[in-house]
Amino acid sequence: QVRLVESGGGLVQAGGSLRLSCAASRLTFSNYASGWFRQAPGKEREFVAAISRSVSNTYNANSVKGRFTISRDNAKNTVYLQMNSLKPEDTAVYYCAAGFYEHSDDYHQYVYWGQGTQVTVSS
């Protein structure tokens, strides 16, 4: 079965950085559209960033443009989310996902999901 596992979350101070990782088993990321979503308590799941099979093609939500970068390492079959200049409003559980629609910001179009990793940004 396909399995996606996120790691790298934690507690950081505002202005700090984290790099989230998403490792896959029985799925090759280079053959899928990949994305990151987040969900804060009491809020809907929110699109963060996506990357196509072409590494140069990425798409970020307006809320994270200039601060977050999605990337992929094909040799490690891992997708990353580099998060810089973190703000308290970035606090959420972050999920990685894979699907068939390039640069989709609709979570319904992603088929495979990880279990999430908690990111907490203190003020």
Over residues 6-22, the pLDDT tens digits come to 999 999 999 999 999 99
User: Average pLDDT for residues 97-119, to the nearest whole number?
Assistant: 93
**Percent of the chain topping pLDDT 90:** 91
- Reduced to 3 states (helix: H, G, I; strand: E, B; else coil), residue 107 is helix
Residue 105 has what DSSP assignment? Answer: -
Which tokens is 95 given? Answer: 């999920």
Write down the mean pLDDT value for the chain.
95
26: region left, alpha or beta (phi > 0 left; psi from -120 to 50 alpha): left
User: Average pLDDT for residues 50-62, to the nearest whole number?
Assistant: 86
